[in-house]
Amino acid sequence: MSESYNQSGGTSVIVIGAGIIGVSTALALQDRGHAVTLLDRRGVAEETSRGNAGAFAFTDVEPLASPGILLKAPKWLLDPLGPLSLRPAYAHKMLPWARHFYAASRPRRHKASISAQARLMTLSRAALVRLIARVEGEPLMRREGQLQVYEGEAEYRASLPAWELRRQHGIAFDLLESPEAIAEIQPGLASRFTHAGFTPDWMNTVDPKLWTEHLAACFRAAGGVIETNDVQAMVQQGDAVVLETTAGLLRADQVVVAAGAWSHRLARTLGDRIPLETERGYNTTFPTCTFDLRTHVTFSNHGFVVSKIGDGLRVGGSVELGGLELPPNYRRSEVLVQKAVQFLPGFDGTGGTQWMGFRPSMPDSLPAIGRSPRADRVTYAFGHGHLGLTQSAGTAEIVADIVARRPLALNIAPYAPLRFGGQP
Ligand SMILES: Cc1cc2nc3c(=O)[nH]c(=O)nc-3n(C[C@H](O)[C@H](O)[C@H](O)COP(=O)(O)OP(=O)(O)OC[C@H]3O[C@@H](n4cnc5c(N)ncnc54)[C@H](O)[C@@H]3O)c2cc1C
């Protein structure tokens, strides 16, 4: 196997997708001496990485696919504007993914997914510390923790097994059992919230778009190339990968696919069938804060969060299963804002900008990280679902080691892209 080495001993690598996963990966590859080109059909952070809630949610080790969700889902699905919804026009297309999701929710698989998620979180957290230092990124971070609030004793008690799980994985938290204790961390919440869990080590970026753009600027400043280009297909030919793009054919020694919720379409061109779906999420961003938000607040039983973004506030969440083509239903954003107005007395709730993004989701909530079995010069890095920002720095380090064929800091078998057997 021969590769064309550049002066610093690295090979030429094309990364497809300039969301947070692609940009972080491009930077990590560049730091290891590769000549890297980053391609995106729209630009840097123009899709899902632009509008997320901005949280590094290292404490969220429990996958969506869980025994608990199987109990809650039927009730949620009956409410078309509830935390989880399925667009009827898309229902039949969801069946294969839903079958894998169901299997991944069984207790044994669920337990294995939690361990794999926790290991990736530990690595990602350490990698983020390295990345912040590398790019002088501290001014783009907030360290204000996260408050997960509950309405009444019964809801709180039902959450305790999840907190016990976090404890088993070494996650620090405080349980708050009175409105007064909650008010010490976040004053002004509606009195219906009587209990909470606080995770002090949770971090946020001041703005996920700015953070991704900052990483892209560091990549460019060190000689990295970013081009607007739409990749249609890939093929491995001898010692190179050839990309068919709207700007013609491109060649590289290695390729990384970090195309978010569209990645499975590229994988298909190699013959790899990967059950990637999208969990569409909605939010509304307010340019100024009419509520004194002191931490990231999660209303988990309502499926949404409020976080500070820049000088403003973002209300976002919900999961809509509806594929990549159906138009957004912004009633979902409106419902979340109506709830935020009730839950945060004094919050104005007018003048916001609505947005929908495509979470790239595998059935077991673990990402797809690893080489294509059909083309060993193509590495996949996608499918991070609700946690793409959180796991971006760790994913980037793993992928850089895969490309360089170096020993890995983590057993990546649980994230094998074809772990569902190649059936969509
Ligand atoms: C409402 C909401 C809130 C969220 N909150 C959080 C949070 O607080 N913390 C967290 O960790 N995660 C959160 N997420 C999830 C997170 O945003 C995603 O996991 C993450 O952005 C995925 O990043 P990505 O780089 O894989 O994909 P993207 O950001 O979607 O980037 C993929 C890129 O690939 C490009 N592309 C696709 N196909 C091609 C092609 N053929 N050729 C060229 N380019 C192509 C696209 O243009 C796009 O720019 C949230 C998501 C939503 C929707």
Query: 319 — phi, psi (to 5°)?
Result: -125, 120
Which ligand 1 atom is at minimum distance from the Cα of 232?
A: 41
Residue from 39, 28, 132 nearest 400 by CA: 28
Q: Which comes out higher in pLDDT, residue 2 or 205?
A: 205
Return the top range by mean pLDDT from 27-41, 159-173, 288-302. Answer: 27-41
Ligand 1 neighbours by CB, cut-off 6 Å? 16-22, 39-42, 46-49, 52-55, 57, 230-231, 258-262, 266, 281, 283, 316-317, 357, 359-360, 382, 384-390
Residues in Cβ contact with 316 at an 8 Å cutoff, skipping those fewer than 6 apart: 51, 52, 53, 281, 282, 283, 284, 304, 305, 307, 333, 336, 355
pLDDT at 269 over 60: yes
Position in ligand 1 atom list of the atom nearest CA 204: 8
Mutate to test the pocket of ligand 1, among 255, 304, 389 (most ligand atoms within 8 A of CB): 389
Confidence class of residue 2 from pLDDT cuts 50, 70 and 90? very low
d(CA 370, CA 313) in angstroms, rounded, equals: 36
Identify residue 174 by its one-letter amino acid code: D
Mean pLDDT over residues 302-326, rounded? 95
The residue contributing the CA closest to ligand 1 atom 21 is 49
Spacing, Cα 395 to ligand 1 middle (Å): 14
- pLDDT tens digit string along 49-95? 999 999 999 999 999 888 888 777 777 777 777 888 888 889 889 99
- Nearest atom (ligand 1) to Cα of 358: 53
Nearest atom within ligand 1 for CA of residue 355: 1
Task: Determine the residue type at 65.
Answer: A
296 neighbors 53 (Cβ within 8 angstroms): yes
Indicate if the pLDDT at residue 167 is higher than 90.
yes
If you measure from the C-alpha of residue 308 to the centroid of ligand 1, how many angstroms do you get, rounded to a whole number?
Answer: 19
Q: Which atom of ligand 1 has the smallest separation from the CA of 44? A: 49
pLDDT of 223 strictly over 90: yes
* Residues facing residue 37 across a β-bridge: 14, 225
pTM above 0.85, yes or no: yes
pLDDT at 423: 55
pLDDT exceeds 60 at position 394 = yes
Residue in 44, 85, 219, 262 to alter for ligand 1 test, most ligand atoms within 8 A of Cβ: 262
**pLDDT of 1 strictly over 60:** no
Dihedral angle over CA of 60, 64, 66, 71, nearest 10: 120
Q: What is the pLDDT of residues 369-387, one digit of tens each?
A: 999 999 999 999 999 999 9
